[in-house]
Amino acid sequence: MKRRSRKVGIVFYLSVIIVSLFVIWGIVSPTRLGATTSTAFSYITETFGWFYLVVTFIFLVFSLYAAFGPYGRIKLGKKDDDPDYSYVSWLAMLFSAGMGIGLVFWGVAEPIMHYTDPPEGVTPETVEAARTGLRYTFFHWGLHPWAVYAVVGMALAYTQFRKEGAGLISATFRPLIGDGVNGPIGKIIDVLAAIATAAGVATSLGLGAMQINGGLTHLTGLPNSAGTQLAIIVAVTALFMISAVSGLDRGIKMLSNVNLSLASLLLLFVLMAGPTIFLMDTLTTTLGSYIGNIVTMSFRLTPFTGSDWIGTWTLFYWAWWIAWAPFVGTFIARISKGRTIREFVLTVMVMPTLLGALWFAVFGGSGLHLQMEKGVNLANVVNENMEAALFVTLQQFPLGTALSILATALIITFFVTSADSATFVLGTITSKGGTLQPKTYVKIIWGLLISGIAAVLLLSGGLEGLQTASFIAALPFSIVMLLMVVSLNRTLKSEVAKERQREKLRIQKLEELIEENLQNSD
């Protein structure tokens, strides 16, 4: 593969300036920032909500077509390239970078919130509310988000490892705009990718700080406040800086394996110590209901009722996943060299979806069981202090304090892994040539900036402020992704056509050879 330049260029400077101005705005006038982003959130929800639903479903359909259609056997690399990582390490890094903190934060809270405020006109706090709420939780964390990641990851891995292109989002557009990827259009695409990445990751880091604060409050009585959360961001920033400097193989790979081990330990304990049969029945029933209703949920809006439920939940999630797409897509492309498109798509989409479904069935199911059968008022806990829901749930199990400590450690390692991966990706897409080894100072600058965004968003609006940032940043990048699908489909279609032509020629030559041998034998 050609050696890529490690120099930074105009994309780095433009994106850093824009993000820095946003952080300064939040420091100088957090109230004004919160009001402005809230207004933008409402406008985009009302005007472009349908667009988020449509493009996300397109990403899902295209990913499935790529896996099961004529492109499935194409390798993301040269024909003799082998994968760089074992399947378990690959899956661990996919899972840690792609969901991580969010699963822990929403594991109990989201199903309980849907139970008390369900969609589709379902009566709150009923058995049907519990079923519907858990189904929508599966939907929000299932195939759709991973299809979004798969599109970007597939396009980047194919461009880098098959075509020896740069590791830049803009490089995937060469089939559409040719050398225009090296000009202003390409630079704009990469700047949009960097801004979306910074906003999406900052949202997760803010959630992580809130969740760590909730765990420490539960364990030690530490105040649950914006000041404490800022201190947590500072402390964990120092940790992920150390990991970022150590490099991809040593830092992220090791932490990802630790994440998967801690998450598995916590999951298995709660599954075995809790109402196991109930939880497995919940998983099976909800998974079937999710698959059976996936198309209907994919296009559901509420034009006649005026309900804001879809905007608050589904549209926010779709925007969050799109904002995360350049980050997770670039990262999984980097670790997926040597996989076929079929193996890539099915693993990236199906395995994390199943793991996520199991996670929500166990933790969300446990929360609903405690709420509905044991009289533990988790609905009130979520209403007063959302991030405490997980820890109150764990406290109902044997060794509850030990489980809470384990969960807090898991959140911290997820926090470090996500931020570490993000600094690597932001360094990659803002360096000339999309280097796979960005300079250390570039990663440090981005690490400080995404922590700064998380801090000012928490100060300007807490959870709502975190949600609005990724929602706004995702809109322009969703258009970029839609064009990326067109570009990727064009180049894959061309490769398949060329391969079929070569195969046709081989068969033709073989037939001619056979005919010649037959004539000679006569």
pLDDT, averaged in runs of 10, over the chain (522 residues): 58 91 85 82 83 94 95 90 84 69 85 91 92 94 94 94 88 91 91 86 80 83 85 82 63 69 89 94 95 92 69 86 86 89 93 91 95 92 86 92 88 77 81 70 86 82 68 88 95 90 86 79 64
Residue 85 corresponds to which amino acid? Y
C-alpha 156/C-alpha 171 separation (Å) is 8
Assign 339 to helix, strand or coil: coil
pLDDT at 3: 44
pLDDT score for 434: 54
**Nearest to residue 218, comparing CAs of 402, 447, 43, 487?**
402
- pLDDT at position 249 is 53
**Rounded-to-integer distance, Cα 498 and Cα 157, Å:** 20
Crossing angle of the two packed helices 30-68 and 440-521, in degrees rounded to 10 = 10
**Residue 97 in tokens:** 């970078």
Helix (H, G, I), strand (E, B) or coil at 513: helix
Cβ atoms 376, 369 nearer than 8 A:
no
Give the pTM: 0.88
CA atoms of 58 and 64, how far apart (whole Å): 10
Q: What pLDDT does 227 receive?
A: 86
Mention every residue, 6+ apart, whose C-beta is less than 8 A from residue 318. 52, 53, 56, 144, 145, 148, 474
CB 52 within 8 A of CB 319: yes
Chain position carrying tokens 């996943």: 321
pLDDT at 2: 44
Confidence at residue 453, expressed as pLDDT on a 0 to 100 scale: 84
Closest CA to 266 of 86, 108, 93, 110: 108
Q: Which of 172, 144, 50, 194 is nearest to 485 (CA)?
A: 172
